[in-house]
């Protein structure tokens, strides 16, 4: 590692030693958690560490991929809270508006994100989850507005959002993908109703959004009318890219939590438990190696369609194994721990982490979708292989 990168690592490590919150798991309510997230984001923005993946013209942007890796590694080492509330804003909204939005939209919305404006994502619907092309939320052009009616579901932290990345249907002609349009909707618009979804582990991380003739200005459309499917791919790609590198490093850093758990329950010398812990460490190291390989390919302009899917698939499965082992080591006491709002993989609540780990096999594209991408677009396998019975008959 060059001297400059070593100095950069030392710089961010010293800053985190001074500024990283140590009591962020103690938030007793959803509102307290949200305020702690906002405060931490403001600190990161001021220090220039919040959006290292943004272009250089933005505060803290223009970091090299190696510098981004160092930031993620040091955030994990310091056990700093992951930015859950601003996640959609700094990744999904940025990727969409930065890549597909107009110059005016970029200036209007990206500045606001750094000032604390929060976004949610309005993609999934009750009958259109994994099949995004089946959305039915309708938008009808009325002069210089679209009038939107429908429902969205599983929108992360929508109850706290100022704006929404909204995918709607403007036409039913032709292919389903051809009739989709992408809008940027103000969550304070008349006709918008948000209802949090109370989850089994005590969180209210997701919400439903009901849209009753909501008027969205045409100048808040991203891309052309009917081009929403293509724009949505920019949104989804952001979740399968460098964010997975951060998550992989955080899982490796969180492995010490399981080791501490063994000591707390008096099993520090349990050979079977140590064997399982060692196997998990090897598996996590493999996921981090895949993330590093993904980083090298991107740095060398060798990234292929499906590379991010490999990391996403490996991470999701490994996270399940991590949380499962934590629950087993925690025993009955771990199952009755009081819920922590918006559980992350390092929330302090093993049961919340275990149940949340299952969501990662769906979020950002289900495991089945990732396998299809790898099979069809990397390996060139046919979508509908010939039936072996037909071959025998022939």
What is the distance, to the nearest Å, from the Cα of residue 290 to the centroid of all Cα atoms in its chain?
18
Residue 89 to residue 206: CA distance in whole angstroms: 15
Longest dimension (CA), the chain: 73
Q: Which two tokens stand for residue 360?
A: 């990662």
Model pLDDT, residue 357: 85
pTM equals 0.84
Model pLDDT, residue 1: 62
Beta bridge partners of 216: 146
Beta bridge partners of 156: 206
Strands 163-169 and 119-122: parallel
Residue 385 to residue 391: CA distance in whole angstroms: 11
Ordered mean pLDDT values, 10 residues apiece, the chain (394 residues)? 88 96 78 90 95 91 89 88 91 93 95 96 86 91 97 94 97 88 98 91 85 97 95 77 76 83 84 92 93 82 84 91 88 65 60 82 80 88 65 52
Model pLDDT, residue 89: 96
**Helix, strand, coil % in the chain, rounded to nearest 5:** 55, 15, 30
Question: Catalytic residue at 239?
Answer: yes
Cβ neighbourhood burial of 201 (10 Å; 0-12, 13-18, 19+): middle
Best CA proximity match to 284, nearest among 323, 319, 239: 319
Residue 106 to residue 66: CA distance in whole angstroms: 26
Residue 150 to residue 172: CA distance in whole angstroms: 15
The single residue of 239, 303, 376, 391 carrying the catalytic annotation is 239
The torsion region of residue 253 among left (phi > 0), alpha (psi -120 to 50) and beta comes to alpha
Model pLDDT, residue 387: 58
DSSP label of 89: I
Beta bridge partners of 181: 168
Model pLDDT, residue 192: 98
Cite the DSSP H helix spans in the chain. 3-19, 30-47, 65-77, 87, 94-100, 103-114, 228-239, 242-253, 255-264, 271-299, 307-335, 350-359, 367-373, 388-393
Rg (CA), the chain: 22
Model pLDDT, residue 294: 84
Residue 10 to residue 24: CA distance in whole angstroms: 24
Q: Which two tokens stand for residue 162?
A: 């100022």
**Domains parsed from the chain with CATH numbers:** 3-83 (no CATH), 117-225 (2.40.110.10), 240-378 (1.20.140.10)
């Amino acid at each position: 590692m060059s001297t400059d990168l070593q100095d950069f690592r030392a710089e961010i490590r010293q800053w985190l030693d001074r500024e990283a919150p140590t009591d962020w798991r103690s938030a007793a309510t959803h509102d307290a958690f949200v305020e702690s997230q906002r405060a931490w984001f403001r600190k990161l923005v001021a220090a220039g560490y919040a959006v290292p993946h943004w272009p250089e013209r933005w505060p803290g942007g223009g970091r090299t991929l190696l510098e981004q890796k160092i930031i993620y590694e040091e955030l994990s080492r310091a056990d700093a809270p992951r930015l859950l509330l601003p996640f959609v804003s700094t990744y999904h909204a940025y990727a969409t508006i930065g890549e597909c939005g107009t110059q005016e939209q970029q200036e209007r919305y990206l500045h606001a994100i750094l000032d604390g404006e929060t976004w949610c994502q309005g993609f999934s619907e009750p009958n259109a989850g994994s099949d995004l092309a089946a959305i039915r939320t309708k938008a009808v052009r009325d002069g210089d507005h679209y009038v939107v009616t429908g429902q969205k579901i599983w929108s992360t932290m929508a109850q706290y959002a100022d704006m929404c990345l909204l995918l709607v249907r403007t036409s039913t002609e032709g292919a389903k993908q051809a009739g989709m349009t992408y809008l940027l909707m103000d969550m304070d618009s008349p006709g918008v109703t948000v209802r949090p979804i109370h989850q089994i582990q005590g969180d209210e991380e997701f919400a439903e959004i009901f849209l009753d003739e909501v008027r969205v200005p045409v100048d808040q459309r991203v891309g052309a009318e009917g081009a929403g499917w293509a724009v949505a791919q920019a949104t989804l790609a952001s979740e399968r890219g460098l964010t997975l590198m951060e998550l992989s490093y955080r899982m490796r850093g969180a492995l010490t939590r399981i080791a501490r758990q063994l000591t707390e329950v008096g099993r520090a010398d349990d050979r079977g438990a140590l064997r399982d812990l060692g196997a998990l460490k090897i598996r996590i190291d493999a996921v981090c190696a895949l993330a590093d390989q993904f980083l090298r390919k991107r740095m060398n302009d060798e990234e292929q369609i499906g590379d991010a899917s490999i990391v996403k698939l490996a991470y999701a499965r490994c996270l399940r194994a991590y949380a499962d082992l934590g629950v087993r080591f925690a025993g009955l006491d771990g199952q009755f721990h009081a819920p922590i709002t918006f559980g992350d993989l390092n929330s302090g609540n093993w049961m919340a982490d275990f149940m949340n780990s299952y969501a990662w096999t769906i979020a950002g594209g289900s495991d089945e979708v990732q396998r299809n991408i790898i099979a069809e677009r990397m390996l060139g396998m046919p979508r509908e292989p010939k039936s072996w019975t037909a071959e025998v008959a022939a």
